[in-house]
Amino acid sequence: MTDLKRGLSEAVAAAFAAAGLPADLGRVTPSDRPDLADFQCNGALAAAKTARRDPREIAASVTATLAADPRLAAVEIAGLGFINIRVSDKTLSERAQEIAADPRAGARLVDGPRRIMVDYGGPNVAKPMHVGHLRASIIGESIKRIYRFRGDVVVGDAHFGDWGYQMGLLIGAVMDEDAFIKALMDQLNSRARPLTPEEEKQAFSALDERVTLADLDRLYPMAAARGKSEPDYRDRARKLTAELQAKTQGYYLLWRHFARVTRVALERDFHALGIDFDLWKGESDVDDLIAPMVQELDAKGLLVNDQGARIIRVAREGDKRELPPLLVVSSEGSAMYGTTDLATILDRRKSFDPSHILYVVDQRQADHFEIVFRAAYQAGYAREGSLEHIGFGTMNGTDGKPFKTREGGVLKLNDMIEMTRTKARERLREADLGIELDPDSFEDTAQKVAVAALKFADLQNFRGTSYVFDLDRFSSFEGKTGPYLLYQAVRVKSLLRKAEAEGSAPGPITVTETAERDLVLLLDAFDQALVDAYDKKAPNFVAEHAFKLAQAFSKFYAACPILPAEPPVRTSRLGLAQVTLRQLELALDLLGVAAPERM
């Protein structure tokens, strides 16, 4: 199934070739003046420069060839040599029927499916997520869904931050605060045999009662501050980290408890946003790979001694800026953050063998990833160009600065979700929406409206840009917002239910009116929006398509009476409404947004 833009580009390309000109000049795009034409081609102007011919003469030759194309109602020359193309009502009707009959609503699969790993989210043990995690989670989830929908085999990995110096800090802080835990650690560490499953269960039960995520969230900033200012405290944390990484029994069990309580809260927050990972692999999962990997890097001659440390130089001739080397082993003999990232690439190659790995991480980490990627290419752990950092800007408050609480602190993600859910309830009541729903259904609808507000506010922007989050504006049911899209989807669902109750069903689509034409042309553009989002790793193309589709349906609904019309006009317009709903819900799902049944 080919969309109209692609099919017409092939026909115009053939017409240019028939005129003795390069076929690639025949690229067709949606018209800048939809009141004059559906599509346009500007190739005659480009051809005139190289062929030294009058552009209108070239355009006339091309249009003469196209005149016989049965799909077209008109082909005209405008201005200096622009070619304007108008598709016939019959062609649009046939295209609408194709899309209606397609379970994918007109979206093609990729020609050659690939194995893709998407690394996003980036939560850490012992730290509740804050708004800084929001963009990585929302953008990464949408990219994962888009790639999977287009036919790739895709795995999403949260890449849990669960290893390193911060764990030593926390172990020490918890033991300092709770004498019982200190005694338990001493007892377990002194045991010669491992715990039985029942003993382990009892230990975890005791820890559940004494150490919560709230405790860890409270203790970590204090411990981190002391680690910076008190050398003895810092040295103890480093020793505890080494003991942990040697899997000393007590510390290792306490660390596992940290990971357990953190993950429960993280999964709650992620799931509330419609974000679910295939893998929860952490930095600890590659710890056993690091020592042999360092030996391998040394054997390949990639490691260089530098003031007691071991590094990989990644700078290349022609670099516009100087990149520092990758620090693999510190002067103290410790593996570093970049070393873990390099081992993770190796682990992913062995366990999943992806053709591409996409890292959805803050744009400020660009240099770090460039260094790690170059080291991976040198080591032969990945093919050149197969590792890509998908950077993004910041989410700012209405003051234009990174989003903060009124007190100036970092807003926790769970608090933001609840704040948005509260605003969604207010908006529904203000608009007299959901008043007939039972309490559970109302809460479910409010949750969906809140998620739509949060996600669409982010995804309507190109990921590389920063944006201002204005909850009042983004939770509105009017304008370019997620709630507006949900309202339009629910509107179509209500229409189809009412039609069914009256004994009317969707039927074959026949396009005659301007609003119908505009709606079908947008339905036809779904595949191109997906291609652009896929190629550019940018969900905003899908978000923009969803918004334009909702707008086009609203205009169609106002201009073309549906239920009052007589058959076959009524059944045709119901068919158009039905396929619009299906494509809109598909687009919303690719953004990670679900529409309620009623509102």
Q: Which pair of tokens denotes residue 50?
A: 């190289």
pLDDT band with cut points at 50, 70 and 90 for residue 454: very high
Q: How many residues does the chain have?
A: 599
Which among 2, 3, 86, 1 has a CA at the least distance from the CA of 41? 86
Q: For 406-525, where are the alpha helices, taking DSSP H only?
A: 413-430, 439-459, 471-474, 482-501, 514-524
Structural domain contains residue 595? no
Q: For residues 491 and 364, state if they share a domain.
A: no
Q: Residue 217 burial by CB count (10 A; 0-12/13-18/19+): exposed, middle or buried?
A: middle
DSSP label at residue 161:
B
Share of the chain above pLDDT 90, in %: 84
Per the prediction, the chain carries an average pLDDT of 94
Q: For residues 119 and 176, state if they share a domain.
A: no
Check residue 415 and give its pLDDT: 85
Judged against a pLDDT cut of 90, whether residue 335 lies above it is answered with no
Check residue 403 and give its pLDDT: 73
Mean pLDDT of 219-231: 94
**Domain carrying residue 366:** 115-159+280-395
Q: For residues 54 and 143, state if they share a domain.
A: no
**Domain count along the chain:** 4
Check residue 407 and give its pLDDT: 61
Q: Which pair of tokens denotes residue 383?
A: 């093919």
Q: Which of 272, 288, 313 is the last residue of a domain?
A: 272
- State the CATH number of the domain containing residue 40: 3.30.1360.70
Check residue 455 and give its pLDDT: 96
Judged against a pLDDT cut of 80, whether residue 364 lies above it is answered with yes
Judged against a pLDDT cut of 90, whether residue 52 lies above it is answered with no
Structural domain contains residue 298? yes
Structural domain contains residue 108? no
pLDDT band with cut points at 50, 70 and 90 for residue 269: confident
Q: For residues 153 and 243, state if they share a domain.
A: no
Distance of CA 342 to the CA centre of its chain: 23
Report which secondary-structure segment, H or E, holds 86.
strand 82-87
Q: For residues 557 and 572, state if they share a domain.
A: yes
Rg over alpha carbons for the chain, rounded to the nearest Å, is: 29
Structural domain contains residue 100? no
pLDDT band with cut points at 50, 70 and 90 for residue 126: confident
Judged against a pLDDT cut of 90, whether residue 12 lies above it is answered with yes
Pair 175, 251: CB distance under 8 Å: no
Report the C-alpha gap between 371 and 379 in whole angstroms. 12
Non-local CB neighbours of 411 within 8 Å, separated by 6+ positions: 130, 131, 403, 404, 405
Report the C-alpha gap between 433 and 300 in whole angstroms. 66
Pair 550, 518: CB distance under 8 Å: no
Mean pLDDT of 58-63: 96
Q: For residues 370 and 423, state if they share a domain.
A: no
Report the C-alpha gap between 319 and 374 in whole angstroms. 12
Q: For residues 444 and 521, state if they share a domain.
A: yes
Mean pLDDT of 474-500: 97
Structural domain contains residue 380? yes
Judged against a pLDDT cut of 70, whether residue 356 lies above it is answered with yes
Structural domain contains residue 41? yes
* pLDDT digit string, tens, across residues 21-38: 999 999 999 999 999 999
* pLDDT digit string, tens, across residues 500-516: 999 999 999 999 999 99
Judged against a pLDDT cut of 90, whether residue 551 lies above it is answered with yes
Per the rule left: phi > 0, alpha: psi between -120 and 50, beta: everything else, 20 is left
Q: Residue 98 burial by CB count (10 A; 0-12/13-18/19+): exposed, middle or buried?
A: middle
Tell me the C-alpha to C-alpha distance, in Å, between residue 422 and each of 77, 343, 395, 455: 55, 43, 20, 16
Structural domain contains residue 109? no
Check residue 405 and give its pLDDT: 63
Report the C-alpha gap between 326 and 306 in whole angstroms. 11
Q: For residues 446 and 301, state if they share a domain.
A: no
Pair 506, 544: CB distance under 8 Å: no
- What is the end-to-end Cα distance of the chain in Å, rounded? 35
Judged against a pLDDT cut of 80, whether residue 276 lies above it is answered with yes
Judged against a pLDDT cut of 70, whether residue 337 lies above it is answered with yes
Q: For residues 427 and 388, state if they share a domain.
A: no
Q: Which of 71, 87, 103 is the last residue of a domain?
A: 87
Pair 278, 153: CB distance under 8 Å: no
Q: Residue 532 burial by CB count (10 A; 0-12/13-18/19+): exposed, middle or buried?
A: middle
- State the CATH number of the domain containing residue 386: 3.40.50.620
* pLDDT digit string, tens, across residues 160-170: 889 888 999 99
- State the CATH number of the domain containing residue 487: 1.10.730.10
Tell me the C-alpha to C-alpha distance, in Å, between residue 547 and each of 135, 411, 588: 20, 29, 10
- For strands 304-306 and 39-41, give the pairing: unpaired
Check residue 125 and give its pLDDT: 87
Structural domain contains residue 107? no
Q: For residues 478 and 572, state if they share a domain.
A: yes
Share of the chain above pLDDT 70, in %: 99
Tell me: cis bond preceding 568? Omega within 30 of 0 counts: yes
Which sign, positive or negative, has the C-alpha torsion 232, 237, 243, 245? Answer: negative
Q: Which of 362, 395, 428 is the last residue of a domain?
A: 395
Q: In the sheet where 326-329 sits, what is the strand order?
A: 304-306, 309-312, 326-329
Report which secondary-structure segment, H or E, holds 64.
helix 55-66
Task: Out of 22-31, 208-217, 448-457, pick the least confident.
Answer: 208-217
Pair 446, 428: CB distance under 8 Å: yes
Q: Residue 584 burial by CB count (10 A; 0-12/13-18/19+): exposed, middle or buried?
A: buried
Q: For residues 343 and 252, state if they share a domain.
A: no
pLDDT band with cut points at 50, 70 and 90 for residue 315: very high
* pLDDT digit string, tens, across residues 393-443: 988 887 777 776 666 667 788 888 899 999 999 999 999 999 999 999 999
Q: For residues 174 and 237, state if they share a domain.
A: yes
Q: Which pair of tokens denotes residue 116?
A: 């893709």
